[in-house]
Structure 1
Amino acid sequence: MANPLTLVGLLVILGLPWGAASAQTPPTQVELSVYRGLHAAAAQGSDEDIRRLAQAGADLNTRDGNGRTPLHVAAFQGHGAAARTLITVGVDPSLLDNQRYDAVTIAAVRDDVPTLKALLAAGASAKLITSVYDGTALIAAAHLGHDGIVRELIRAGAPLDHVNNLGWTALIEAVILGDGGPRHTQTVRALLEAGADARIPDRNGATPLQLAHARGYGGMVSLLRESSDR
């Protein structure tokens, strides 16, 4: 079996972004200061201004220089109520910014459970294919060990066994890009309890159990062994 660390190590050596956190581009302070209209209202979390501008016929899906809609901005700023209002007045929650992230994945990467809940309750989807890695919000959250987010996404019907263009599922990312600590271990638990397939290997043929064992992640190994014995 090829070394399962090869791809991760190569990306790190080359200085290439391999995770949702490093690939996302939040608005800068300069951008926030020059926003006008719905982008400004979203950045400030102003429900009143959002409704007023929508009623006046503002372009609900207008984009800034990085392709961010007002909904993306609200998600980056953690304004869950404003995000819900934007969807209520007609913003398209499936749109992606220039890095191919939707508002749900942005909230997932920020570990922002309240904003994620607001987005999902308003009708945003947990099933979109996002990022240059052709991943999902669930994969991004699993990579980062955002176990609370993972559980919310699972409840919202996120695809458990989607394989991104690196050949990794959410379960694999929780192992190989995690630190083996409590939150990544709880992420593995949540995925397994929801029915994630622990038999799906990476491109080198290594299963999540083999990958966890190679890293000495005892808690994950126990969970994965229990799953394989069922």
Structure 2
Amino acid sequence: IALLVLAHGADANADAGGVGHALEAACERGQTEVVRALLRWGADVGFEGGRGGSALVIAARKGYTKYEDMARMLLESGADANISGARWFHPLNLAAYSGNKAIVHLLLKHGSNPSARGPVYGDNALQAAVQSGSIDMVRVLLRHGAETKGSGALQAACGAVYPHEGNLCMVKLLLDYGADPNDESDAYACTGYINALSGGPGSSFWSALEVARRGRDGCNDVIIKLLLDCGARDRD
């Protein structure tokens, strides 16, 4: 139907209401063939403005397998792998948080910056991957040069709620890639767990050691020792 309507002169960039243009609406609904048809008929892959952001941001956020083809089509049609806009999260950060490694690899292949920060919350892919609990995703990002400094990733690993062994492996991996145990990150760029400790987003700065010490009773002792062995210091 989409092809028929487009063939009879429908605008591939027609307004679809609050969601954005027709392309963004099709991505939001998971309509892969409609996305394909719209791209073939000249839909603007760079449009931003609906409540979901750009089409690529929507595909990255969804995370389901069918959105991999959508993300691939958008990127091959010229979508900017680093698009985010003034209000939206960076697509790589969303893909990392959703746990979709295929979309993460696609974005990196098309030049996505592994250290990019979201324009509003300061979110980044490394911290998002830590929050998702996927050590494989964290490893991929680190191998592609994701910066640990100021990312909040180490703090997120120390304060995460997945099983203790997962915390320890994540912390070790980040330290192996040069994460500074004394780096203090704005809580606004870290997890909701850290935000709760600090009294709300952006109200304080926390080191990994401080986060670990405020964790579950006795559960973070090994992590605390590891951080201290790696040079973590108490603030004066």
- TM-score of the aligned structures, taking structure 2 as reference length: 0.66
Structure 1 position 222, deviation (Å):
4.1
Q: Distance in 1 between matches of 2:56 and 2:226?
A: 38
Identity of aligned residues (%): 26
1:109–1:140 contact (8 Å) kept in structure 2: yes
Deviations 1:43-95 (A, max 9, x none): 5363x654543343221122352151111121123212321221121011222
User: 2:198 aligns to what?
Assistant: none
Opposite residue 65 of structure 1, the aligned amino acid is G
Structure 1 position 205, deviation (Å):
7.8
Where does 1:72-221 land on structure 2 (aligned, <5 Å)? 72-78=57-63, 79-96=67-84, 99-130=87-118, 132-162=120-150, 169-178=152-161, 181-201=164-184, 207-215=207-215, 216=218, 217-221=220-224
DSSP-derived class of the 1:196 partner? coil
Cα RMSD (Å): 3.3
Q: Distance in 2 between matches of 1:133 and 1:42?
A: 23
Deviations 1:201-220 (A, max 9, x none): 46778642343244331342
Opposite residue 230 of structure 2, the aligned amino acid is S
The yes-or-no answer on 1:44 pairing with 2:30 is yes
Q: Which runs of 5+ in 1 are unaligned?
A: 1-30, 164-168
Q: Which runs of 5+ in 2 are unaligned?
A: 1-17, 187-203
Opposite residue 189 of structure 1, the aligned amino acid is K
What is the aligned residue count?
A: 193
DSSP-derived class of the 1:117 partner? helix
2:68–2:103 contact (8 Å) kept in structure 1: yes
Opposite residue 76 of structure 1, the aligned amino acid is R
Opposite residue 212 of structure 2, the aligned amino acid is A
Opposite residue 209 of structure 1, the aligned amino acid is L
Structure 1 position 100, deviation (Å):
2.7
User: 1:224 aligns to what?
Assistant: 227
